[in-house]
């Protein structure tokens, strides 16, 4: 069989295999789903750690991270619009880089998503104890995990409705936080004098200035900043379930980047003006500290509820993403075949159960580990999330020429500045990865993240002959 006819056969088989997916996602739902995947504890909790390490220069780091996210999501959108299939960039990686890279990237994506779910459900349980301190954490974890798993078992339209509500709540709340913060700084709302007097714009100049610990001291915070922007992969994974991929994905990218820019940069700027950067805590959200400084009635309780919705929304989007990756790996013959089956509602049920099983184990491990487990999980997950970004960009470098040769008519959405912008984001990613081990408390997370990648490569080297035989016989 020739290469050309083999690729034609693959496209026909993919079309037949994936026809069970429901194409019910529109721009509004996909935008909220993408925001749900991005906006989680990386913004609401880990941002406090980033600010404490980088000081006011964290605002600059978040600006760089926003640009990197825009370019990365545009690179993913370019490929997803041209070839909207389940499995997202993994299908394109297989075509241009081969099955080895696909195997490693796919399993790292899945494991990273499970770690994300574990950290988010742990955070949700801690938020719930503010109202019900006598209920054990494991009870909340079990309840929230069961809820999110159940949501992913309903139809795509029903799942989208639930995610609309959760992601919509936290998006509106963050926008309101920006408004409330502005009102507090302009003294329209009362604020806590002891906090704001020591914060305000003066905090950008005093206490060490913009970069109190120097750029070498701020650099280790960069991985935490990039982690706050992770979760963009859902936009590609949902491409096969959108009503009109070309129009829907392009619009979703514009809306996502615009809203994230307002909410992230606006929030960080206001937090820096409301709370001195030295007062950031590893156990209290900077958003809670900032709302407390505004003296907004019931502000702490309301923000706690928003944080609960936020992390559950991110957990929901993470589960949605990783089961689609398992589905794609199964159809690439790089995971058990049973994970590639859809139920009557067009949902990959077996893949959901596998992710749920590992989620249960990681929740148990999170409570066995010391109190610093969240920090370890954030760094490990961020390390692996940036590896996935690298894989998306590396794939796009080779997939753009492939599309030009074989399907130039499909290249309707393009990342501007290619290939220089692609190389730029890759450089940004490596800066974050190389700097992370130098931050106190992040060494273990970085080691775990790197170890996961190494283990995935070792697994490929051990299984590659058996997997290649399965691919060749399909």
> What's this model's pTM, rounded to 2 decimal places?
0.81
| Dihedral (CA of 199, 205, 207, 213) sign | positive
Cα 374 to the center of its chain, rounded Å: 16
Q: For residue 147, what are the contacts with CB-CB under 8 A and spacing of at least 6?
A: 312
Cα 286 to the center of its chain, rounded Å: 20
What confidence tens digit (pLDDT) does each residue in 411-464 have?
888 999 999 999 999 999 999 888 877 766 667 777 878 888 889 899 888 888
The answer to whether 80 and 295 are in contact (CB under 8 A) is no
The answer to whether 124 and 363 are in contact (CB under 8 A) is no
- The C-alpha angle 152, 155, 157, rounded to 5 degrees, equals 105
Prior bond of 351 cis (ω within 30°): no
How many of the other CB atoms lie within 10 Å of CB of 250?
A: 18
Q: For residue 156, what are the contacts with CB-CB under 8 A and spacing of at least 6?
A: 21, 22, 24, 25, 241, 346, 347
**What domains are there in the chain, each with its CATH number?**
20-473 (1.20.1740.10)
Structure token digits, residue 139: 């009870």
Q: Which of 204, 220, 232, 240 is closest to 342 using CA atoms?
A: 240
Residues (pLDDT < 50) of the chain are 1-20, 194, 196-197, 370, 473-474
Q: What is the model's pLDDT at position 1?
A: 39
Phi/psi at 435 (nearest 5 deg)? -85, -25
The answer to whether 224 and 42 are in contact (CB under 8 A) is yes
> If residue 159 lies in a helix (H) or strand (E), which one and from where to where?
helix 156-185
């Amino acid at each position: 069989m020739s290469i050309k006819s083999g690729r034609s056969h693959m496209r026909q088989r993919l079309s037949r295999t994936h026809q069970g997916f429901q194409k019910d996602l529109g721009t509004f739902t996909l935008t909220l789903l993408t925001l749900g995947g991005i906006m989680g504890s990386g913004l609401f909790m880990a941002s406090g750690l980033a600010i404490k390490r980088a000081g006011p220069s964290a605002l600059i780091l978040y600006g760089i991270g926003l640009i990197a996210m825009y370019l990365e999501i545009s690179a993913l959108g370019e490929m997803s619009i041209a070839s909207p299939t389940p499995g997202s960039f993994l299908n394109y990686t297989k075509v241009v880089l081969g099955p080895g890279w696909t195997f490693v990237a796919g399993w790292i994506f899945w494991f990273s998503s499970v770690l994300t779910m574990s950290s988010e459900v742990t955070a949700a349980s801690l938020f719930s104890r503010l109202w019900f301190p006598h209920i054990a954490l494991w009870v909340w974890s079990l309840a929230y995990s069961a809820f999110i798993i159940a949501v992913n078992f309903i139809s795509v339209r029903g799942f989208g409705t639930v995610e609309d509500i959760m992601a919509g709540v936290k998006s509106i709340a963050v926008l309101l936080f920006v408004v409330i913060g502005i009102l507090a700084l302009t003294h329209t709302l009362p604020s806590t004098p002891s906090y704001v007097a020591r914060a305000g714009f003066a905090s950008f100049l005093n206490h060490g200035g913009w970069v109190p610990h120097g750029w070498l001291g701020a650099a280790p915070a960069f991985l935490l900043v990039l982690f706050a922007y992770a979760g963009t992969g859902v936009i590609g994974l949902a491409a096969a379930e959108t009503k009109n991929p070309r129009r829907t994905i392009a619009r979703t990218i514009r809306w996502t980047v615009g809203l994230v820019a307002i909410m992230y940069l606006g929030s960080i700027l206001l937090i820096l003006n409301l709370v001195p950067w030295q007062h950031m805590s590893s156990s209290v959200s900077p958003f809670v500290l900032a709302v407390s400084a505004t003296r907004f009635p019931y502000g702490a309780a309301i923000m706690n509820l928003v944080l609960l919705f936020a992390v559950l929304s991110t957990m929901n989007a993470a589960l949605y993403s990783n089961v689609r990756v398992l589905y794609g790996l199964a159809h690439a013959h790089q995971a058990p075949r049973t994970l590639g089956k859809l139920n009557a509602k067009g949902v990959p049920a077996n893949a959901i159960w596998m992710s749920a099983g590992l989620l249960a184990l990681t929740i148990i491990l999170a409570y066995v580990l010391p109190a610093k487990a969240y920090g370890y999980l954030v760094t490990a997950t961020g390390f692996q999330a940036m590896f996935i970004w690298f894989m998306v960009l590396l794939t796009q470098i080779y997939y753009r020429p492939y599309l030009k040769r074989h399907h130039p008519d499909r290249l309707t959405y393009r990342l501007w500045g290619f290939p220089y912008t692609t190389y730029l984001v890759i450089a940004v990613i490596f800066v974050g990865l190389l700097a992370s081990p130098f931050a106190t408390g992040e060494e273990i997370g970085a080691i775990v993240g790197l170890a996961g990648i190494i283990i995935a490569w070792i697994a490929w080297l051990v299984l590659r002959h058996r997997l290649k035989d399965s691919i060749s016989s399909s």
